């Protein structure tokens, strides 16, 4: 069964950086390469919102407008791990971050929301202090 485990969250001062990791297991090598991996975040009292996505079939990446230029998603195929490098963090970035996966050649459309993914990790907390 596919499992996703996030790590790398923690406390960081505003303006600082963190790198989140999403380790995937249960995928075959070929299936992982055909999968799309996304990052979502959830603020207190709100629904999960999309942050970024990478489609391994073509290597294309996507970002929510508020993180463009600050966050970078990448993948290590050998380790079956997807990363989210977060720079210039601000107070509005504080949330629980989740990674999600779907066996698809493309990232799910924005309109699909969280329903576009089939597998989810447990989340990792990112706290930003002023």
Q: Per-residue pLDDT tens for 53-86?
A: 999 888 899 999 999 999 999 999 889 999 999 9
pLDDT at 90: 97
Phi, psi of 42 (to 5 degrees): -130, 120
Cβ neighbours of 91 (radius 10 Å): 10
Confidence check: pLDDT of 99 > 90: yes
What's the alpha-carbon Rg for the chain, to the nearest Å? 14
Per-residue burial over 109-126, b if 16 or more Cβ lie within 10 Å, else e, is eeeeebebbebbbebbeb
pLDDT level of residue 29 (50, 70, 90 thresholds): low
pLDDT at 39: 98
């Amino acid at each position: 069964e596919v499992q996703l485990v996030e790590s790398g969250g923690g406390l960081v001062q505003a303006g600082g950086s963190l790198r989140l990791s999403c380790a995937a297991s249960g995928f075959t090598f070929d299936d992982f390469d055909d999968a799309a991996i996304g990052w979502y975040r959830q603020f207190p009292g709100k629904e999960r919102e999309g942050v970024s996505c990478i489609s391994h079939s073509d290597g294309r990446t996507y970002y929510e407008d508020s993180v463009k230029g600050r966050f970078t998603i990448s993948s290590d195929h050998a380790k079956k791990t997807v990363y989210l490098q977060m720079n210039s963090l601000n107070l509005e970035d504080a949330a629980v971050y989740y990674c999600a996966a779907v066996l698809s050649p493309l990232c799910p459309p924005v309109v699909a929301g969280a329903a576009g993914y089939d597998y989810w990790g447990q989340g990792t907390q990112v706290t930003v202090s002023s």
